Amino acid sequence: MFREPEANLSPSIADEVKFTTCYMCACRCGIKVHIKDGQIRYIEGNRNHPVNKGVLCGKGSSGIMQHYSPARLRKPLKRVGERGAGEFVEIEWDEAMEIARARLDRIRRSDPKKLAFFTGRDQSQSLTGWWAMQFGTPNFAAHGGFCSVNMAAAGLYTIGGSFWEFGEPDWERSKYLLMFGVAEDHDSNPIKIGLGKLKARGAKIVSINPIRTGYAAISDEWIGLTPGTDGLFVLALVHELLKADAVDLDYLVRYANAGWLVIKAPGEADDGLFARDADGDPLSFDQRAGALAKATAAEIAPAVVGEFALPDGRKAVPVFHLIAERYLDESYAPEAVAQRCGVSADAIRRIAAEIADVAFNQAIELDVPWTDWAGRRHETMRGRPVAMHAMRGISAHSNGFQTCRAIHLLQCLIGAVDCPGGFRYKPPFPKPIPPAQKPAGKTTAPCTPLDGMPLGFVMGPEDLLIDSDGKAIRIDKAYTWEAPLAAHGLMHMVISNAWAGDPYKIDTLLLYMANMSWNSSMNTARVMEMLTDKDETGEYKIPYIIYSDAYASEMVAYADLVLPDTTYLERWDCISLLDRPICDADGPADAIRQPVVEPDRDVRAFQSVLLDLGARLQLPGMTREDGAPLYPGGYADYIVNHERSPSIGPLAGWRGANGGSEGRGAVNPAQLDAYIANECFWRHELEPKQRFYKFANKDYLEFAAYMGFIAKPEPIVMQLYGEPLQKFRLAALGHGPIQPPESMRETLKSAFDPLPFWYAPREEAQIDRRRYPLHALTQRPMIMYHSWGSQNAWLRQILGRNKLYVATAKARELGLADDDWVRVTSHNGSIKVQIKTMDGVNPETVWTWNAIGKRAGAWNLAADAPEARKGFLLNHLISELLPNKHQRRSNSDPITGQAAWFDLCVRIEKCDPGDETSEPQFPALPPLVGLVAAPSINQFGAQFKR
Ligand code: SF4
């Protein structure tokens, strides 16, 4: 009998499959890369990987085009023309390294802080920060100050963890999720997987976001509030919950500082600080004993309201008393905030009632006994199944730190932090509040490492990085009175300050993966001028720029020396617990990248270059006693053999001589082999009894101490009332030996409130809103990772240009229709763009996708590419300085220095379309020497059919 030949439904497409970690966004999913004849054929999600469990997004699959991008740099470059002209010659690595070594050696021997080292979306900050420390410069940060430091710092100063990398909703159990200011960005695949779980269980998802895109599009309720008013909205929810007595007081006195006493002594130097005993421990009023007691003692019943006498006769009140007093005030009532927020009072009241109902009437109980830090056994784990998540929409406002604290206050009040159904910490969090590491760099000296890492957490004015005259020690002015809690630095101020010589001139700017002449800067056109500006002697005001990147980004043209990096598929990397980990709430995890193909160009991984440079400079920790390199095998050698403290290194898995240890252990020379055998990741599953209440869970705290996550297995008490903030306020009131300048006192007094509060974004407060009545936002698209994605041949087909989205009703009011050209004007400048109307946006808000616009000629794209001719950046409109520019105050959150790029206000007016080209346009960059010709038709894949 005739039989049809069977169809081969799974033809072999590859002759080799290698595991590694995606780098097409910050999420770090596990991937399987299929390779045929030494070429990348196909990328697949790794089903066993803890981050993505097999899910691969469009960006991840398009990694092939990132790897084969014609924009890849091919060889070190030395500038030969004027800076900015894009004229280079190719040089050998030996010459490039010697140029860098000689320059940096001279700086290190004279004044190490004249090197400013800033990185972009670097995933190796524990190495780059450590390198800066060993070099001796405090001028180091990654792009966090431009991105989300408000979210990170507010969390770390309040609950000892934060959203995204440090925590996640309990996707398995939550019944109600509030998402604030989240586009389809960070933590992409885990959130998508999690939202799917919530949807499948019928949980309610509420999105609070001026724009209904990304995750908001699948939410059950969209609250399209006015940008920058989230804090007011949240505190109105707090008002309603307090009014309804819907707070978990038992939780608050056990796990937060609700019962700690705050000194009430207006005018005195310790007003508003915690009352402490002779040991310096905070005090509560124990209702059982009828006396003051150590607030951290296990068996006390702290009073949460009332006024109590201290031994010196002064009065003190519990933190919760202040909370109730503050937020029960009618100024926080829904009616009082509704108009400002653009949300009806009824909606606010209803959401508060829904939160209360789910938290208290639908509480869950896990039948899992656990033991708290004091040894008390609890038979069950109680859960308040309301979870919260927030990201850049909160962070990128100048009131973002206090707003994020308000969200944490809200989730603490209902007892929903690290309980079943609530927000959950991902190890190594929670950490002590704030983490113990202080920023180093108070003193610098030639050939001397810093006495700690450049970034850290300040506790009061004494920790600021200012000299005896109050002048900033860092070039970005982080940890000064302008940005005291600047835990991630102020990347957006580096070029502006270096150009202005304020607080001093630098010698060399070393940048890695930071597109600072384009989408990673505010005031882009002006930044380009600063990068090329010369002083009266004819020297560049920023004397020398070394740039490392894998691609011909806009920034390359402004470098004096270009060090070409590999793609993510050609390199070793570690996603380390010392850095930005990939853990989930049920267990710590880390991962590696391995080279799945060899570079076909003369490029080197930046991390290996940095270690090589360190050895050539004879930096401690990178050089043997005989002067030879300590890590001759580059980054892979460092990943295995470096120990940050005895027995703790970049990777936690397979430590010890035989690979049998986790977390701690001697160096294992075969560690990378063990990771590769385990599909390039390691994960430790917590026992059920360790998984919740991690801040007070004896078994978890002991595990965390063993792993080196925390110094001691002691409870971590959530700080609803932030004493470090009050210390800055007291300084502003004239107390203490370290005093702010007069010009800063009012800002410090108002912004450094120890309880969360709302204030109008700073730019709004300084401009005439009648001239700039609309808010303007950018969102990261789900299919791009900043400028990387918008040059990717496959991803460009999805979004090759951007438009300005305007609410349909607002467009009608302004006489605008789809595809009209408009002029968008802010206090800082004007751009010309095309619009599109939509309904899912707050009517007083316009917005666009981030980093789609490109400079003509950059990224090896055609000079008339749609990204260059029609795409645009809002960055041109955003100033790095507040509108009163003579003061040179950064456009930032006054607490953390977070770049406030969501504070932008504009007006839009219909304009002549002209040649239908967006403005501003800049001279096209010439083709970069050495790049391959970009094909006019992408025929990738055809080669596999031949
Ligand atoms: S979410 Fe990010 S890391 Fe994960 S597959 Fe997509 S691009 Fe890669």
pLDDT per residue over 395-427, tens digit each?
999 999 999 999 999 999 999 999 999 999 999
* Pocket flag, ligand 1, residue 29 (CB < 6 Å): yes
The owner of tokens 């989930």 is 584
- pLDDT confidence bin for 5, thresholds 50/70/90: low
Region 709-731 average pLDDT = 98
Question: Which long-range contacts link 608-614 to residues 24+ away (Cβ below 8 Å)?
Answer: 608/572, 608/634, 608/635, 609/97, 609/548, 609/563, 610/127, 610/128, 610/131, 611/127, 611/131, 611/635, 611/637, 611/638, 612/97, 613/97, 613/100, 613/101, 613/104, 614/131, 614/134, 614/135
* Pocket flag, ligand 1, residue 487 (CB < 6 Å): no
Using alpha carbons, list the distances in angstroms from residue 88 to 530, 556, 706.
20, 10, 52
DSSP string, 518-582: TTTSSSHHHHHHHHH-B-TTS-BSS-EEEEEESB--GGGGG-SEEEEPPPGGG--EEE-TTSS--
pLDDT for 3 equals: 65
Region 918-942 average pLDDT = 92
The owner of tokens 């509040």 is 433
- Measured in residues, the chain has a length of 946
pLDDT for 197 equals: 97
Which residue is closest in CA terms to ligand 1's atom 2? 25
Give distance in angstroms: CA of 29 to centre of ligand 1.
5
Q: Which of 21, 24, 42 to mutate to test the pocket of ligand 1 (most atoms within 8 A of CB)?
A: 24
| E-assigned strand segments in 46-166 | 77-79, 88-90, 115-119, 140-141
The owner of tokens 């882009």 is 524
For residue 700, pLDDT over 80 is answered with yes
Give distance in angstroms: CA of 121 to centre of ligand 1.
14
Give distance in angstroms: CA of 491 to centre of ligand 1.
25
Gyration radius of the chain over CA positions:
27
Contact 789, 59 (CB under 8 A): yes
Q: What is the mean pLDDT of the chain?
A: 95
What percentage of the chain reaches a pLDDT higher than 70? 99
* Pocket flag, ligand 1, residue 149 (CB < 6 Å): no
Provide the CB-side half-sphere exposure for 210 (13 A, CA): 28
* Pocket flag, ligand 1, residue 24 (CB < 6 Å): yes
DSSP string, 744-778: HHHHHHHH--SS------HHHHHS-TTTS-EEEEE
Which residue is closest in CA terms to ligand 1's atom 8? 60
CA–CA separation, 932 and 934 (whole Å): 6
Alpha helices, H only, 244-317: 249-255
pLDDT for 580 equals: 84
Give distance in angstroms: CA of 780 to centre of ligand 1.
14
* Pocket flag, ligand 1, residue 191 (CB < 6 Å): no
The encoded tokens of residue 806 equal 């305007």
Which atom of ligand 1 lies at the shortest distance from residue 189's CA? 1
Which atom of ligand 1 lies at the shortest distance from residue 59's CA? 7
Beta bridge partners of 822: 833, 910
User: For residue 185, which phi and psi values (nearest 5 degrees)?
Assistant: -120, -125
Give the end-to-end CA distance of the chain in Å, rounded to a whole number: 34
pLDDT tens digit sequence for 359-401: 999 999 999 999 999 999 999 999 999 999 999 889 999 999 9
Give distance in angstroms: CA of 46 to centre of ligand 1.
11
pLDDT for 765 equals: 87
Using alpha carbons, list the distances in angstroms from residue 851 to 146, 330, 553, 666.
14, 42, 12, 44
The letter for the amino acid at 414 is I
Alpha helices, H only, 311-417: 319-327, 334-341, 345-356, 392-395, 400-413
Give distance in angstroms: CA of 128 to centre of ligand 1.
23
SS (H, E, C) 491-518: HHHHHHHHHHCCCCCCCEEEEECCCCCC
CA–CA separation, 355 and 350 (whole Å): 9
Which residue is closest in CA terms to ligand 1's atom 5? 60
* Pocket flag, ligand 1, residue 25 (CB < 6 Å): yes
pLDDT tens digit sequence for 743-768: 999 999 999 999 999 999 999 889 99
Give distance in angstroms: CA of 187 to centre of ligand 1.
8
CB atoms within 10 A of CB 369: 12
CA–CA separation, 573 and 589 (whole Å): 15
Handedness of CA 233, 235, 237, 240 (dihedral sign): negative
For residue 942, pLDDT over 90 is answered with no
The letter for the amino acid at 296 is T
To which H or E segment does residue 34 belong? strand 30-36
pLDDT for 185 equals: 64
CB atoms within 10 A of CB 873: 26
Which atom of ligand 1 lies at the shortest distance from residue 24's CA? 7
pLDDT for 747 equals: 95
For residue 946, pLDDT over 70 is answered with no
For residue 795, pLDDT over 90 is answered with yes
Give distance in angstroms: CA of 43 to centre of ligand 1.
11
CA–CA separation, 548 and 532 (whole Å): 19
Query: Would you call 111 exposed, middle or buried from its count of C-beta atoms within 10 A (0-12, 13-18, 19+)?
Result: middle
* Pocket flag, ligand 1, residue 123 (CB < 6 Å): no
Which atom of ligand 1 lies at the shortest distance from residue 55's CA? 5
* Pocket flag, ligand 1, residue 27 (CB < 6 Å): yes
The owner of tokens 């939780």 is 251
- pLDDT confidence bin for 782, thresholds 50/70/90: confident
Give distance in angstroms: CA of 51 to centre of ligand 1.
10
DSSP 3-state helix, strand, coil percentages of the chain (rounded to 5)? 30, 20, 50
* Pocket flag, ligand 1, residue 22 (CB < 6 Å): yes
* Pocket flag, ligand 1, residue 186 (CB < 6 Å): no
- pLDDT confidence bin for 784, thresholds 50/70/90: confident
Give distance in angstroms: CA of 852 to centre of ligand 1.
18
pLDDT for 787 equals: 79
Give distance in angstroms: CA of 906 to centre of ligand 1.
33
Give distance in angstroms: CA of 22 to centre of ligand 1.
6
pLDDT for 886 equals: 76
CA–CA separation, 607 and 613 (whole Å): 10
CA–CA separation, 240 and 551 (whole Å): 52
pLDDT for 810 equals: 98
Give distance in angstroms: CA of 788 to centre of ligand 1.
13
For residue 645, pLDDT over 60 is answered with yes
For residue 1, pLDDT over 60 is answered with no
Which atom of ligand 1 lies at the shortest distance from residue 52's CA? 4
CA–CA separation, 486 and 494 (whole Å): 14
The encoded tokens of residue 783 equal 């299919």
Contact 337, 150 (CB under 8 A): no
Higher-scoring residue by pLDDT: 133, 299: 133
Region 121-145 average pLDDT = 93
Region 608-619 average pLDDT = 98
* Pocket flag, ligand 1, residue 782 (CB < 6 Å): no
* Pocket flag, ligand 1, residue 56 (CB < 6 Å): yes
Using alpha carbons, list the distances in angstroms from residue 683 to 189, 589, 800.
18, 4, 39
The encoded tokens of residue 224 equal 């399209």
Which residue is closest in CA terms to ligand 1's atom 4? 29
* Pocket flag, ligand 1, residue 224 (CB < 6 Å): no
* Pocket flag, ligand 1, residue 150 (CB < 6 Å): no
Torsion of CA 865, 867, 871, 876, to 10 degrees: -110
Give distance in angstroms: CA of 254 to centre of ligand 1.
39
* Pocket flag, ligand 1, residue 28 (CB < 6 Å): yes
Which residue from 58, 300, 152 is spatially nearest to 896, judged by alpha carbons?
152
CA–CA separation, 174 and 416 (whole Å): 10
Give distance in angstroms: CA of 794 to centre of ligand 1.
15
- Residue 484 preceded by cis peptide, ω within 30: no
* Pocket flag, ligand 1, residue 834 (CB < 6 Å): no
Contact 919, 831 (CB under 8 A): yes
Give distance in angstroms: CA of 931 to centre of ligand 1.
27
pLDDT for 786 equals: 78
Give distance in angstroms: CA of 352 to centre of ligand 1.
35
* Pocket flag, ligand 1, residue 189 (CB < 6 Å): yes
CA–CA separation, 177 and 161 (whole Å): 18
Q: Which of 32, 57, 185 to mutate to test the pocket of ligand 1 (most atoms within 8 A of CB)?
A: 57
Using alpha carbons, list the distances in angstroms from residue 581 to 59, 125, 630, 664.
21, 11, 26, 16
* Pocket flag, ligand 1, residue 61 (CB < 6 Å): no
Using alpha carbons, list the distances in angstroms from residue 415 to 233, 257, 258, 260.
19, 13, 12, 17
Which atom of ligand 1 lies at the shortest distance from residue 785's CA? 7
For residue 668, pLDDT over 90 is answered with yes
Region 839-850 average pLDDT = 96
Q: Which of 23, 59, 66, 569 to mutate to test the pocket of ligand 1 (most atoms within 8 A of CB)?
A: 59
Give distance in angstroms: CA of 59 to centre of ligand 1.
6
The owner of tokens 């202005």 is 500
Q: Which of 188, 582, 795 to mutate to test the pocket of ligand 1 (most atoms within 8 A of CB)?
A: 188
CA–CA separation, 566 and 604 (whole Å): 6
pLDDT for 936 equals: 85
* Pocket flag, ligand 1, residue 188 (CB < 6 Å): yes
Query: Would you call 32 exposed, middle or buried from its count of C-beta atoms within 10 A (0-12, 13-18, 19+)?
Result: buried
* Pocket flag, ligand 1, residue 52 (CB < 6 Å): yes
Which residue from 454, 426, 430 is spatially nearest to 440, judged by alpha carbons?
454
Give distance in angstroms: CA of 289 to centre of ligand 1.
56
Contact 151, 895 (CB under 8 A): no
The encoded tokens of residue 636 equal 């892979």
* Pocket flag, ligand 1, residue 845 (CB < 6 Å): no
To which H or E segment does residue 371 belong? strand 370-371
Give distance in angstroms: CA of 576 to centre of ligand 1.
18
Contact 395, 148 (CB under 8 A): yes
Give distance in angstroms: CA of 27 to centre of ligand 1.
6
Angle between helices 400-413 and 230-243 (to 10 degrees): 20
Contact 50, 679 (CB under 8 A): no
For residue 607, pLDDT over 80 is answered with yes
